């Protein structure tokens, strides 16, 4: 009997062909296996019983990092017998749906080799095999073969060639395989040891770290800056050079045992740390644990921890024998450099020495960030990039035309929709820096070439000034077509509904900082009703209704109110009225308001833009509690408030936490008014209540008010499914207690599964709604 099998999914770059080869030889079968376009195709011949056992083993024993999304088995009749023993055939390049592997963290076998003096790969920082190593960041085109990667410039030596061709070796057809004789090499820039061997280069970098210096490090998808995480002077110097005053730094630890010395680690968090993605995992610290330098993660009890993801990092951590700050190699606001020329220019002023190498990075990919929420069924992805990119979602909804969705402005990520697949880019950062936008365009072009995607439809945000919107408008102008514009919060909701393959009516609660609304104001505290979630095979789109929101507050100074939170507090106080202003002034929480200018400011309030953003309400409350007005990075005031919560806040229900009152009113839509909350909060401040208590009452009051509004709208619409999306759902209290309260009331609650709830997941929702709107028109 002879079968032909075609497997799709993550089946290239993960050792799948060598696995099939060894398995087929083990079962005594004849045939071949090859990469064909983006799939693995094989023919296999043997008796029926053996083939059935072989097929089960194919699924059960497949490589851990492989993912089989589709398997087609065909019986070949009237074919000549296969006479050759099973072999690997040369790849065939075809235009096809392709799922290349993400970059894989250093495996235990390779770690043992690079630390063993008797091994020929001792101290070699580019060691890899079929179970680990660079993948996505070195691909220029598909199929995934060495000639199509940045390793094509490094011909194999005889020993590596022997491993590559040996079916019993774990480097059998490992495309990036290399050693010190034939592969990439380190070089040190900024010291007389330039051009030295790998060991000398590693020792030079280690000595700089021990002396309190800063080392630039060319990693998998971009550059890192490293320094001793226990050396306060070194960390402060790094902050000064990066112009990053307060935003926490991530820390790389040698092993899991060391992580446990500095942070609390659950089993779920341990699994994430040790996974092949090797992300930054946000962990709780405690007074019982060892302390790092105070400036590593100031004002927060949360530590971003990761383990070495490459042999280079592992060798450096072993030599240094202590935790290292490992942060992106850029100044605050600029993108992470990944091209050598630009990176070298940055390293001149950011690092004392630069540890570089000659393997080109073809695609920028920042470190991923993930957090486990209390009681959550899955981790929450703050940033999906290295180890998770490319992120390809199989969907039951079919895209009639290849579609490009531009994503947002902050935490940008674009997406393509083609047939029944969504191709999401890695996290690309904020697009307010010109170099960040240049990289956005470069990587979008790279995706089109790599995946052979040729958009016929372009979707963007309603906001006319987003760089991503301008990019879409420019492409559409060149191609003589019109873009499809999708409202920000409707896209957030659609991304969550799409992840769950939801069909039919649903409510969606979308809480974030900002998003351009249909009325020209900034939205961000929205309750939406989908009359019917769009099915892309249909000829209509869903009706989406804005059923409720936070009350719109003035933003004195417009966009300056985002960076200077005392302005947002002034807007909240004027909304609450003169008595609130007087109460705030009496405790020093209205520094910009005096008897002389209060009337003038009141008369000017109608001139300022309005926002119903939940994030802006957090900004205002954070200033009232802390008295500090500067916001250095997106979400900092909200994070500060969340970090004031104590562990006890996560037990019990919001109603047991003495929630602050919010008024719920019905006009053309339901409105949650925070004015009455302001008076209760100011009264607590006047009485000297702790920041942790005030934060808890504010959080619980917000949950209680929105749940009450949800109950009202659910009764009106006769729907009991609600999706939760938006950047505010990075907040662990909000996610846990909204879910807990709504499920207690009989709602089906949909949370994001693999997409970030923030703007990093926005493009998937833009695809869904944009394609439906295009069909409808």
Active site residues: 17, 35
Distance between CA 601 and CA 556 in Å, rounded?
9
What element of type H or E holds 354? strand 353-357
Strand partners, 357: 186
Note the maximum CA span of the chain. 97
Distance between CA 272 and CA 47 in Å, rounded?
42
Distance between CA 15 and CA 171 in Å, rounded?
8
SS (H, E, C) 82-107: CCCECEECCCECCCCCCCECCCECCC
SS (H, E, C) 598-637: HHHHHHHHHHCCEECCHHHHHHHHHHHHHCCCECCCCCHH
The total of other beta-carbon atoms located within 10 Å of residue 520's CB is 9
Q: At what angle do helices 578-586 and 675-686 cross, to 10 degrees?
A: 20
What element of type H or E holds 572? helix 565-576
Q: What is the phi/psi pair of residue 630, to 5°?
A: -80, 135
Distance between CA 140 and CA 312 in Å, rounded?
23
The total of other beta-carbon atoms located within 10 Å of residue 428's CB is 25
- The beta strand positions in 406-539, using DSSP E, are 415-424, 457-461, 484-486, 506-511, 525-530
Distance between CA 220 and CA 368 in Å, rounded?
12
Q: What is the phi/psi pair of residue 225, to 5°?
A: -120, 130
Sign of CA dihedral 425, 431, 434, 436: negative
Helix (H, G, I), strand (E, B) or coil at 239: helix
């Amino acid at each position: 009997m002879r079968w032909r099998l075609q497997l799709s999914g993550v089946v290239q770059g993960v050792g799948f062909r060598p696995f099939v080869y060894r398995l087929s030889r083990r079962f005594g079968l004849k045939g071949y296996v090859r990469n064909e376009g983006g799939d693995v195709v094989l023919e296999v011949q043997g008796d029926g019983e053996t083939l059935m056992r072989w097929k089960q083993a194919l699924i059960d024993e497949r490589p851990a990092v492989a993912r089989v999304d589709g398997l087609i088995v065909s019986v070949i009749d009237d074919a000549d017998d296969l006479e050759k023993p099973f072999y690997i055939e040369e790849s065939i390049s075809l235009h096809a749906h392709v799922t290349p592997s993400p970059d894989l963290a250093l495996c235990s076998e390779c770690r043992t080799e690079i630390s063993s003096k008797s091994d020929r790969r001792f101290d070699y920082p580019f060691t890899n095999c079929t179970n680990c190593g660079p993948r996505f960041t070195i691909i220029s085109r598909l199929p995934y073969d060495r000639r199509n990667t940045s390793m094509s410039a490094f011909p194999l030596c005889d020993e590596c060639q022997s491993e590559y061709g040996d079916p019993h070796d774990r480097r059998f057809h490992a495309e990036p395989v290399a050693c010190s004789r034939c592969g990439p090499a380190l070089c040190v820039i900024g010291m007389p040891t330039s051009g030295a061997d790998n060991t000398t280069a590693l020792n030079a970098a280690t000595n700089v770290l021990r002396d309190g210096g800063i080392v630039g490090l060319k990693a998998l998808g971009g550059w890192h800056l490293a320094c001793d995480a226990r050396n306060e002077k070194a960390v402060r110097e790094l902050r000064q050079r990066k112009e990053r005053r307060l935003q926490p730094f991530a820390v790389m630890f040698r092993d899991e045992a060391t992580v446990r010395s500095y942070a609390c680690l659950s089993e779920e968090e341990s699994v994430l740390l040790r996974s092949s993605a090797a992300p930054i995992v946000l962990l709780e610290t405690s007074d019982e644990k060892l302390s790092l330098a105070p400036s590593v993660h100031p004002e927060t009890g949360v530590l971003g921890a990761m383990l070495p993801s490459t042999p280079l990092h592992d060798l450096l951590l072993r030599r240094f024998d202590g935790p290292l700050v490992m942060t992106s190699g850029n100044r605050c606001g600029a993108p992470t450099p990944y091209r050598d020329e630009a990176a070298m220019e940055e390293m001149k002023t950011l690092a004392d020495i630069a540890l570089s190498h000659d393997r080109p990075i073809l695609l920028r990919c920042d470190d991923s960030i993930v957090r486990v929420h209390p009681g959550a069924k899955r981790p929450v992805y703050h940033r999906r990039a290295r180890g998770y990119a490319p992120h390809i979602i199989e969907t039951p909804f079919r895209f009639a035309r290849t579609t490009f969705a531009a994503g947002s402005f902050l935490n940008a990520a674009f997406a393509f929709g083609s047939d029944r697949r969504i191709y999401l880019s890695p996290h690309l950062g904020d697009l307010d820096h010109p170099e960040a936008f240049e990289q956005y365009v470069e990587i979008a072009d790279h995706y089109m070439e790599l995946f052979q995607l040729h958009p016929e439809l372009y979707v963007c945000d309603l906001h006319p000034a987003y760089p991503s919107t301008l990019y879409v408008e420019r492409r559409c102008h060149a191609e003589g077509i019109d873009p499809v514009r999708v409202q920000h919060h409707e896209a957030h909701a659609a991304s969550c509904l799409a992840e769950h393959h939801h069909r039919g009516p649903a409510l969606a609660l979308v809480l974030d900082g900002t998003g351009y609304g249909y009325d020209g104001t900034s939205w961000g505290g929205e309750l939406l009703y989908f009359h019917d979630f769009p099915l892309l095979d249909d000829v209509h789109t869903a009706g989406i209704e804005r059923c409720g929101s936070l009350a719109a507050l003035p933003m004195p100074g417009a966009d300056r109110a985002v960076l200077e939170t005392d302005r947002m507090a002034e807007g909240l106080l004027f909304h609450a009225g003169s008595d609130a202003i007087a109460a705030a002034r009496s405790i020093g929480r209205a520094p910009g308001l005096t008897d002389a200018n209060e009337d003038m400011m009141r008369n000017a309030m109608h001139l300022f833009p309005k926002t119903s953003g939940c994030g802006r309400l957090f900004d205002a409350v954070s200033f009232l509690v802390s008295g500090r007005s500067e916001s250095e990075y997106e979400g900092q005031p909200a994070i500060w408030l969340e970090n004031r919560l104590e562990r006890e806040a996560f037990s019990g229900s919001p109603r047991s936490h003495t929630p602050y009152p919010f008024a719920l009113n019905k006009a053309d839509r339901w409105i949650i008014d925070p004015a009455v909350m302001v008076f209760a909060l100011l009264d607590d401040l006047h009485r000297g209540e702790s920041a942790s208590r005030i934060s808890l009452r504010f959080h619980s009051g917000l949950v209680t008010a929105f749940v009450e509004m949800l109950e009202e709208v659910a009764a009106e619409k006769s729907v009991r499914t609600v999706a939760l999306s938006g950047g505010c759902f990075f907040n662990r209290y909000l996610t846990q207690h909204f879910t807990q309260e709504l499920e207690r009331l009989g709602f089906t609650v949909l949370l994001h599964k693999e997409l970030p709830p923030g703007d990093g997941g926005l493009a998937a929702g833009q695809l869904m709604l944009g394609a439906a709107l295009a069909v409808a028109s």
